Amino acid sequence: MQQRPRLTESTTKIVTFERRHIRPIPVTERHGTTRGLFFVWLGINMLPLTVVTGALGPTVFGLSFGWTLVAIAIGNLIGGLGAALHASQGPTLGIPQMLQARGQFGYFGGSLLALIALVMFLGFFASNLVVASQSFAAIFDSDNINVGIIVCALIALVVAIFGYDLVRKMMAVFSVIIGIIVVVSIVITLSNPATFAATPELGYNTAGFFGMVAVGVTWQLAYAPYVSDYSRYMPADGGAKEAFWATYLGLVLGTVLVMVLGAIVGLHATDGDIMAALGGLLGGFGPLVLFAFGVASAVMNSSNIYSGVMCSLTVFETISEEIRINTRARVLMSVAYALLAMFGAIIGKDNFLVIFGDFVSMLLYVLIPWSAINLIDYFVLRKGEYSVGDMFERNGGRYGRWDVVGLVSYLIGIIVQIPFMVSTMYTGPMAEPLGFVDIAWLLGFAVPALVYGVWKRAKLGSTQREEGALV
């Protein structure tokens, strides 16, 4: 009969200060639970930024409330599968998500992908700072949100410095509080006769519908680079299945619920300030909702610092073998990371909706090929069999310094999307013939998955034959 891991210091304290960083989590410290993981991913979307994203349907894509809801549901259901599949890798390997990229791209090649993910975390952290500060500004009727940005950044930084344990517990608490507030807010707004009174220009358009579906897919896949940062604390035995369902249900339920509220608010947002529009729709209940959202965003934004720092440490470890990854390095990196994102939020706050829309579009194009390659390699080619120790060797061990197959396949995944891209920054030549329907991300997943799968399978087969001949 298998014995449960014994209680350790990490399971007896109310809050444990993290000391493992990017190193594998030992079996005796796998204190994660299905319920805890579910609330992490449910709570992580209880944010003002999720409201803003749901509002993109009416405000940017010109969709009616009904069509926005359909697009939100489809996009999140599809994207959630990818994020949950990545999460199921954590209990098996016990390491952060982007460090696993060394298995497909090599020791140094994996750091390039971690660097891309780092930029993503910075973008989301800065975006959350802006929207959280807009919530507080709407309450206090202030046009200056810089103070709010600074305060929210400091709160997130303190939580992130403690690490996984405090981040997880804080998100669990706020997921329940904000979840109740969101449900009440939806009931209030739907019962308001003015909610659907003046939106005759909104309806269905194919480009807008598929654009909003892509936003839903992107939103979920944006979590893929760090889902294993939390699921790695789940037990190795049976934890993969539990991690999949806890992540999938938490992400999809939390996102769809809050985006529905955003879709309602988007019908009334005329100046791009979604949170002010939300406060106006809710009347006397508005200040309480905006305050709760602002506080929740400040706290739960810590996950973007935490996982961004995991990527930073992965990158810095490859720069020089003299760099030591320890608690001091993690704390200093957290401070630098928070300051960088804070200044970015202050600089870009005036054009937030435009910048955020382009950020989401570009994020989809760069994440999709990585996700495809990782999933094909893990589930089809290697079936979860990796040498974690080799991933920490500077020569890459069996994975090498640079994996040409992975890097070239990723590059191909980016290139094939370029003619079909649709964004305000760049629109490809094939977009107009297709009615500006964004199908780039579909090609960005299918093509690199096929190229990598066929090429890598042949290479692995050749290596196995050579080893057999030597024996």
pLDDT given for residue 18 in this prediction: 53
Contact 214, 367 (CB under 8 A): no
For residue 165, the domain's CATH number is: 1.10.4160.10
> Residue 386 to residues 95, 103, 457: CA-CA distances in angstroms?
12, 7, 15
Q: How confident is the model at residue 308 (pLDDT cuts 50, 70, 90)?
A: confident
Q: DSSP string spanning 340-395?
A: HHHHHHHHHGGGHHHHHHHHHHHHHHHHHHHHHHHHIIIIIISTT---TGGGGSTT
- Residue 356 is assigned to a structural domain of this protein: yes
Backbone angles phi, psi at 63, to 5 degrees: -95, 150
The CA distances from residue 185 to 57, 65, 175, in Å, are 19, 16, 15
3-state secondary structure of 257: helix
Note whether residue 314 is domain-resident: yes
Nearest 10 degrees: CA dihedral of 128, 130, 132, 137?
180
CA distance 401 to 409: 16
Is 148 domain-assigned? yes
Q: Which residues contact 232 (CB under 8 A, 6 or more apart)?
A: 24, 25, 32, 90, 91, 93, 94, 95, 96
pLDDT computed for residue 355 by the predictor: 65
pLDDT > 60? residue 390: yes
Are 243 and 90 in contact by the 8 Å Cβ rule? The answer is yes
Tell me what the pLDDT averaged over the chain comes to: 81
For residue 452, what pLDDT is reported?
97
Whole-number pLDDT of residue 394: 84
**Mean pLDDT computed over 189-205:** 76
- In terms of Cα–Cα distance, which of 147, 124, 141 is closest to 218? 124
pLDDT value of position 206: 87
Q: For residue 3, what are the contacts with CB-CB under 8 A and spacing of at least 6? A: none
Instruction: Write the pLDDT tens digit of every residue in 154-194.
Output: 888 887 777 666 777 777 787 888 889 889 989 988 887 77
Lowest mean pLDDT among 331-345, 349-363, 374-388, 428-442: 349-363
359-375 mean pLDDT: 82
- Is the pLDDT at 144 greater than 80? The verdict is no
Which residues does 255 contact at the CB level (< 8 Å), separation at least 6?
45, 50, 76, 80, 216, 219, 220
Residue 290 is part of which domain span? 40-367
Q: Looking at residue 1, what is its pLDDT? A: 40
pLDDT reported for residue 12? 42
471 — pLDDT class (breaks 50, 70, 90): very low
- Name which residue leads in pLDDT, 29 or 16: 29
Best CA proximity match to 252, nearest among 79, 85, 51:
79
In this structure, of 291-300, 306-315, 326-335, 356-365, the range with the lowest mean pLDDT score is 356-365
What does the pLDDT average to over 408-420?
A: 95
Query: Within a domain: residue 19?
Result: no
**Lowest-pLDDT choice from 202-206, 244-248, 306-310, 330-334:** 306-310
* pLDDT tier, 202 (very low <50, low <70, confident <90, very high otherwise): confident
**What is the distance between the alpha carbons of residues 144 and 331, in angstroms, rounded to a whole number?**
30
Residue 404 pLDDT grade (very low, low, confident, very high; cuts 50, 70, 90): very high
3-state secondary structure 23-75: CCCCHHHCCCCHHHHHHHHHHCCCCHHHHHHHCHHHHCCCECHHHHHHHHHHH
Answer whether residue 52 shows pLDDT above 90: no
384 within some domain: no
Whether the per-residue pLDDT at 417 is higher than 80: the answer is yes
Residue 470 has pLDDT above 60, yes or no: no
Q: Does residue 330 form part of some domain?
A: yes
pLDDT, position 373: 96
- In this prediction, residue 6 has a pLDDT band, given cuts at 50, 70 and 90, of very low
Domain assignment present for 300: yes
List the beta bridge partners of residue 175. Answer: none
How much is the average pLDDT of 450-458?
A: 95
3 state SS of 425: coil
Total tally of structural domains belonging to the chain: 1
Specify if 250 maps to a domain: yes
- Is the pLDDT at 257 greater than 90? The verdict is yes
| pLDDT band per the 50, 70, 90 thresholds, residue 253 | very high
In this prediction, residue 200 carries a pLDDT of: 60
Token pair for residue 122?
């910075």
Residue percentage of the chain with pLDDT more than 90: 23
